[in-house]
Structure formats: structure tokens, C-alpha cells
Amino acid sequence: MLRRTKIVATLGPATESEEQLQKLIEAGVNVVRLNFSHGDPEDHRIRAERIRSIATRLNRSVAILGDLQGPKIRIGRFQNAKIHLPDGAEFILDAELPIDAGDETQVGLAYTNLPNDCKVGDTLLLDDGRVSLKVKAIEGSRIVTTTIAGGELSNNKGINLEGGGLSAAALTEKDKIDIKLAADLGVDYLAVSFVRRAEDVEEARALLKEAGGSAAILSKIERAEVVRSHELLEEVIKASDAVMVARGDLGVEIGDAELVGVQKHMIAEARRLNKPVITATQMMESMIHNTLPTRAEVFDVANAVLDGTDAVMLSAETATGKRPDEVVRAMGRICMGAEKQPAAQVSTHRMDFTFQKADEGIAMAAMYAANHLEGVKAIVCLTKTGSTPLWMSRINTGLPVFALTRYKTTERRVALYRGVESVAFDSGSTYGSEVNERAITVLKERGVLKAGDKIILTKGENREVEGGTNTLQIVTIG
């Protein structure tokens, strides 16, 4: 049984060497994340080159996701590195205080527009919500607060406004530099942090194109105002090529109690709009240090799979954790356990829709036949752009979808799609039944098909036409 849910792993010091990267890929990673918040351009370049080389050597399709840092909405630094803030204490955030002059009574701001973005009565959440402050006065550059929930506070911790509404632009000057780096590295996906609206996505796409890149744009949904409006969320998803449920900052802004329902809604919306979706943040965090996940983490990953996420993401677990490859294997086992459940194999997706495109109609017909025709072992899709396997991946099924393509960019992009295995395939100048035979031979050599298997095969009569899939065949391998 092939795992359908894809695994995204963040690279870092724990996955620096070629040996560790190879272990990661062998453990089953489908997408690697380059976090542009950390490391320098040369670090990312070396990692990208190593991933490409190892994946080629192992005959695996591994996509690279470049993740932009986004706006630094953070406090400044303390003279003694950290302070203890007691409950009930007055504490001042001052946009004009020197950035490294903080003490037990006040601290500077890296985000100097904060006094204009909040008002008396607002709650500011620092360090992922571990410290919360109630705004009681705004005096020019100074935000005077009362500590609701205190604790240790150290340098450069993040700030969130409960309920959202900070005006910081999604793309900073650093991000614009990193977009050029992403284009130069040839990443397959570019993640935009703190997206507020569809225009942020289009700006990133235009800058990437200008830099010579062609990556798919992935929007990280982590602002309360985006998920609070159904219309705005739909606009952002439609403008994006993929989305991420970025549960860290999102959870801080909307509150943990709301996060479960929002995650389910976002995954459902992304699938309805035919966009891949990644669920991220703290999925296996205990395994940064431990050899086994907690039961809560097992249920968290499994529920995301049952909700229909395309991929689940690891952050510090693989970037700085003790056993990156073991975390990937553990997550893979949980995904496959959840995928055995009937709910993960049944779909009513788009049953009442009509289709405007022939290739979309073929994709939907293929999946309906696959789920209802007895004895089908796999769906084989010859594709140029990856659109047909993307549509197929929106349908729950227990059957593997093999996307065969001669285009490296398509092969790697498809690596994110749920239930789709990308396969390098160059049919050359052959047509008709000869193409079928060559495709079947490639899959038999991989050990995933054998004589007597029944498959559904889709392709286009003119293979070089984008959107040209117009043929569906049911083939018994002889």
C-alpha cells in the first residue's frame, strides 16, 4: 500500500549533511522546505543542490518549497537578554526606544507601526501567546499595557494582535530579495507568509516571474481576518496555487478553541477549489527530543489526513530534532493508518457539478470509474502540466494515481498532491497503444503493476497541448 498523504520536512542543522538528507528522502519525504527566516543564501543553495542530486540518484521525485519570512512583527532586545514579567505589572512597548535597550519596564519594537495598529482594550500576545498584555493607553510611540498573563520574555519574540488586524505588508524588502534567490534556486513552490488578500499573492507571482522563476505560489493562511471572512478566504485560495494551514500564528490570533473548526473548513475549501493544502505546525513536536509521538500528536496527524489534507508538515522536528528520519517514518505510519479508514476512501466531491474543460471531465470520469469498477488496481495519467492528476487527487480513493510526465517541473510539483506518485516518463515519438505499453513497462519495472492488473489510463492524443487530455482507457495488463 502506497502512502497517499505527502510529508513536508523543513531542512536545518539536523539535516545538513548528504547522509542525513539521503536518510530523510529514503524515509519518505516528498517535499523539503527551505526556511528563508534562517540561514544565508549559500546555505539554501547547498541544500537545494544536494536534494536535487540525491533525489536523482535515488530515482525519487522531491519538490523544494522556499518559505519567505514575511514581516517581522517582533519586540526588540533586552539589555540582559530576558526578563520576568509578573502578572498585573505595567509594561511599555515603545517604537522609539533603542532596539536593544529593553528592561523590566519597557522594550523597543522591530515593528514600529504597532502603536497605529492597536487601540485601548486590545490584547497583544507575545511569544506565541505565552505572554499576554492588555492595552490601557497609547501615548504617541508608546503602548502602555497591563500584564494579563506574565512569564519569561526574551529577545525578539513575536507579537500578535488578538483577533488580527495588523497592517504590515505581506512582502518585505527581505522577501523581495529572497524571491530572487528562490527563482535562482529553481524552487517548485514559493510560500508567502502572512497573506492578507489576493493581491499579495499576485504581487509575489509577478516578482517571481520578473526574476525568472516559475514556482507555484503557496499562501500561508495565518491571519485572523482572512479566515474570518468566507469571501476573502475564497479569494486568497483562488489566487494561489496551493495553501497552508499555518497553525502557529493563526492559532495565536484566533485562539486554540477556534483552530480545529477553521482547519477543517480551510482544508474543505481548498479541496473544493481544487488547490493542494498543507497542514503545519507542532504536528510531531515532542519528537524533537523523544523517540515516540504522543497520542495527541498521533490523533492530530490522523485527523488532518481524514479531513483530506494533501500534506502534513514537520518544522523543528526535522530542522533541529535528534532523529529527523525516524520522525518522518513515524508520521508516515500514522498517515497510512488513517488512510485505511473508509472515510479516507469515499468521496462525493463535485458529484453535482458540470465541467467546462475536457481534461477535467476525463479526470473526474476516471476517478468515478476507478472507485466503482471492480478490480481496478491503479490510475495511470500521462500529463504535461499536472492539471489532470491534481483534479484526480481531489477525489478520495484507496487506489494510487501515477502521474507520468517528461517535464521535471511537473514531476516535482505533482509530488505534493495527495495520492499521486510522480514518475519520470519520456514516451519519445511513440503514439497510440505503443505509449500505453511503454508506460505499463515503466510501472512494471517499478514493481507497482503486474500482468493481469486492470488499470485506468488517461492521456491526450496530442501530448504537447496543455489541457489536451481527452482519452480514457480501461486496460488489462497482458
Q: What are the CA-CA distances from residue 124 to residues 101, 157, 159 (Å)?
A: 20, 12, 7
In contact, 227 and 249? CB cutoff 8 Å: no
Which member of 23, 50, 220, 350 is catalytic? 220
Residue 33 annotated to the active site: yes
Which member of 145, 147, 279, 281 is catalytic? 281
Residue 357 annotated to the active site: no
In contact, 383 and 404? CB cutoff 8 Å: yes
Long-range contacts of 118-123 (CB under 8 A, 24+ apart): 118/143, 118/161, 122/161, 122/162, 122/163, 123/148, 123/161, 123/162
Amino acid at residue number 31: V
Which member of 3, 4, 23, 33 is catalytic? 33
In contact, 134 and 146? CB cutoff 8 Å: yes
User: Angle, to 10 degrees, between the axis of helix 198-210 and the axis of helix 173-185?
Assistant: 50
Give the H/E segment covering residue 200: helix 198-210
- Nine-digit cell string for 268: 474543505
Which member of 6, 50, 74, 275 is catalytic? 74
Buried b (16+ CB within 10 A) or exposed e, 417-438: bbbbbbbebebeeeeeeebbeb
Residue 220 annotated to the active site: yes
Residue 281 annotated to the active site: yes
Q: Which residues form the catalytic set?
A: 33, 74, 220, 281
